[in-house]
Structure 1
Amino acid sequence: MSFDQKLKAFPSVREHYDAMTAAGEVDPDQAQLALADRFDRLIEELGEKRLSKKSSALGWLFGRKAASRAPVKGLYIHGEVGRGKTMLMDMFHALVPVKRKRRAHFNDFMADVHERIHAHRQAFKRGETKQEDPIPPVADALAEAAWVLCFDEFTVTDIADAMILSRLFSALFERGVVLVATSNVKPDDLYRDGLNRQLFLPFIDLLRRHVEIVNLDSRTDYRLEKLNRQPVYVTPLGPEACRQMDAAWEAAKGSAEEQADVLMVKGHEVPIPRAAGDAARFSFGDLCSRPFGASDYMAIVRRYHRIFIDDVPVLDYARRNEAKRFILLIDTLYDHHVRLVLSAEAAPEKLYVAPSGTEAFEFDRTASRLFEMQSAEYLETAGNGDPRAGAQEATFGV
């Protein structure tokens, strides 16, 4: 049964989850069951809120209820990697009867925000608008495009993001936007050890007022249960690793001609040393030793759906900037369902050796994703672009 058929047959998150357990696709888990029920309550609350805004008699009836007049609180779901947070949120996003909804990786969303802010400031300089502050018009545009925002992997490591989140989300919440997010960290740990963190703390208070915080304390890591290793992560480094990477690259190229490429991103170049068709090959230094950010990595995955990375070293605190970029890179590749072939000095869980710091905390997710990107389930559909492309536009109901 296809995903769309399941949605028609099982119109609630709980029913969809129960069907998956009956089919043996997941093992029943009490924490996940409770979250499925909470998602269904949120769907009901959003449905009542939507109806209360309509001019029909039914909308007037719902509109009289205090619960419908009150703002709908979203959900912030945190827990360790591989606990099923994203799976359940994706069910919710598909089933919620709201046209204006958006499901995105948080880094992608913030890159879009910064692009909109930059465009508004340029328009102000050109005299095309008298509004100097970009936050209100950007919030207007975002709220108009999506009333329900679903973020996967909500994490804050960039100071540019940290400094605008409080104002941005204050404006979004004032416009009625409902936030649903998954994260590996509880709200109090967001932007932990970040520069000028005291300026970020109002956002945590704001978040607590507008979302219900749920800890998904599930019993096991389902990603590791599904793991079925494929020869796409080659370790240790050495002549044999080089041979395997070259063989995989030749197979990926096929008859396509190999050449260098250059992508232009916000006025600067992102070199692609080796490209053939929809495949691109880099060294670790090409991608992580340069001052690249989310928009650069997104430009790469929009153009190339199969990525090869040679010679990923073991990283420590002295190389934490490269580690941050590597974390962001893997997040981007994973979220866009890119097929990754990689050679590394050590296994995923041993690639970052610093005992503390934000990067050590974040790298747990990176290691988990590197494992999952080797699984048969991931590889069956990887390499053809993001399978969720267009999901932001999917609608159910009115």
Structure 2
Amino acid sequence: MPVSVRTAYKRLLKKREIHSDEGQARAVEAFARLEGELDSLNDPWIPLPFFSRGKAPKGLYVWGPPGRGKSMLMDLFFDSAPVQKKRRTHFHVFMGEVHALIGAWREGDASARKKRFGTAKGDDPIAPVADLIARDARLLCFDELQVTDIADAMILGRLFEALFERRVVLVATSNRPPEDLYKNGINRQLFVPFIDMLKRRCEVVEVAGPKDFRLDRLKGAQVYFSPITAETSKAFDHLWRDMTRVTHEVGATIEVAGRRLEFPRACGAMLRASFEELCARPLGPQDYLAIAGRFQTVFLAGVPKLGPERRNEARRLVTLIDALYEAGTKLVVLAEGEPADLYPAGDGAFEFERTVSRLQEMRSADYVERAEA
């Protein structure tokens, strides 16, 4: 039997895994309210459809800057929520699935629709898609609800109106208040009714503590590991586990100029990625700026020693480190060599000297302990 969200939070405080925070405490009470309402409505001894005996509880929309504990609180609530059919996922992953389901409905014949959706009637895909989602999850928990894509914006209102009609409960975290969703987006006036509906159907709670509670764990810790050996790899992994032990890796998606960058090993405001993911792919300055703006701590694994034949990767590493440094992002590195040994010769080696200097500074206690802007 899972413990309640209040009990789980108090245990973390008692073990000093986290520090007391007024914003988190308010959110815990909101989660506890929803937990209790779900428990009272979801009686396992009565074989009736979920929530068929009354109005569905009001969901939650928890927002605030990165690293304030939103994902941790979502973890505690999701683990304790007394609902059998529940799902937690990144919002962009969910919307990708929704678009795929809409495509399957529009492209399928009657037989294919019947097999996939259980019905083949009508031309509008929203109702059958909502039916399918509601059958699989009565509680939907989203990490990082943000809307930047017009295709998402144009269907969200109708989709969630249908889901709410089916008594699906929504819980979401976001870096933005509801009013700022799809800000300055094309045809935003068509999206505003979704915001109004979201505020009616969800309690809005701000979590905006003074700092990222996890950053204290980096203070005094080694953050640059080299060379890459079994011992340094183990130490790098241990620090990542220590930083993420009260949350789950749920991944993250960042939109840049109409493209979506997927990062499977993300946890709240922390990202773990390999050199191949960040520097071997054709990413550019805007991508790295978006990464620096999204994450407060980046774990960068597998940085190799680079030669002239890998000048493109070296150039991307320069751009990445510049973006992280300017944003004050904390950086943990697992590399084959010390900063000065990573790219000693080749096109751009002179410019790389700035990167060497910045890597040296970013591993220092002063940088790690620097007050957040």
Tell me the TM-score normalized by structure 1: 0.60
The reply on whether 1:206 has 2:197 as its aligned counterpart is: yes
Q: Which of the numbers 153, 178, 202 marks the counterpart of 1:162?
A: 153
Counterparts of 1:264-283 in structure 2 under 5 Å?
none
Corresponding residue for residue 112 of structure 1: 97
Asked whether the equivalents of residues 288 and 323 of structure 2 are also in contact (C-alpha less than 8 Å), the reply is no
Distance 1:340 1:167 in 2: 42
3-state SS of 1:293 partner: strand
Instruction: Tell me the CA shift for residue 15 of structure 1.
Output: 1.2
Asked whether the equivalents of residues 300 and 331 of structure 2 are also in contact (C-alpha less than 8 Å), the reply is no
- With 151-160 and 213-222 compared, the bigger mean Cα shift is at 213-222
Instruction: Tell me the CA shift for residue 14 of structure 1.
Output: 1.4
CA offsets per residue over residues 213-268 of structure 1, 9 Å max, x none? Answer: 01112232224323356348xxxxxxxxxxx9xx869x99xxxxxxxxxxxxxxxx
The reply on whether 1:133 has 2:124 as its aligned counterpart is: yes
Distance 2:199 2:107 in 1: 34
Distance 2:44 2:323 in 1: 50
Corresponding residue for residue 275 of structure 1: none
The alignment-based identity, stated in percent, is 38
**Runs (5+) with no aligned partner, structure 2:** 114-119, 233-253, 267-272, 304-316, 335-373
Counterparts of 1:277-292 in structure 2 under 5 Å?
292=259
Asked whether the equivalents of residues 310 and 344 of structure 1 are also in contact (C-alpha less than 8 Å), the reply is no
The reply on whether 1:46 has 2:24 as its aligned counterpart is: no
Q: Which of the numbers 42, 67, 74 marks the counterpart of 2:59?
A: 74
Corresponding residue for residue 210 of structure 2: 219
The alpha-carbon distance between structure 1 residues 117 and 229, as it changes in their structure 2 partners (threshold 3 A), is: farther
Corresponding residue for residue 103 of structure 1: 88
Give the AA of the match of 1:39.
Answer: F
Give the AA of the match of 2:260.
Answer: G
Distance 1:219 1:289 in 2: 28
Distance 1:125 1:328 in 2: 47
Q: How many residues align?
A: 283
3-state SS of 1:181 partner: strand
Runs of 4+ in 1 over 4 A off after TM superposition: 124-128, 287-292, 298-301, 311-314, 326-331, 337-342, 347-352, 372-375
Asked whether the equivalents of residues 224 and 332 of structure 2 are also in contact (C-alpha less than 8 Å), the reply is no
Asked whether the equivalents of residues 224 and 372 of structure 1 are also in contact (C-alpha less than 8 Å), the reply is no
Instruction: Tell me the CA shift for residue 328 of structure 1.
Output: 12
Give the AA of the match of 2:87.
Answer: R
Corresponding residue for residue 196 of structure 1: 187
Give the AA of the match of 1:17.
Answer: Y
Give the AA of the match of 2:223.
Answer: Q
Distance 1:88 1:289 in 2: 28
What is the RMSD computed on CA atoms of the aligned residues? 4.3
The alpha-carbon distance between structure 1 residues 210 and 53, as it changes in their structure 2 partners (threshold 3 A), is: farther
3-state SS of 2:208 partner: coil
Asked whether the equivalents of residues 314 and 350 of structure 1 are also in contact (C-alpha less than 8 Å), the reply is no
Distance 1:169 1:373 in 2: 40
Distance 2:212 2:264 in 1: 31
Give the AA of the match of 1:46.
Answer: L
Instruction: Tell me the CA shift for residue 114 of structure 1.
Output: 0.8
The alpha-carbon distance between structure 1 residues 220 and 181, as it changes in their structure 2 partners (threshold 3 A), is: same
Counterparts of 1:163-178 in structure 2 under 5 Å?
163-178=154-169
Q: Which of the numbers 75, 78, 82 marks the counterpart of 1:93?
A: 78
Distance 2:164 2:22 in 1: 31
Tell me the TM-score normalized by structure 2: 0.63
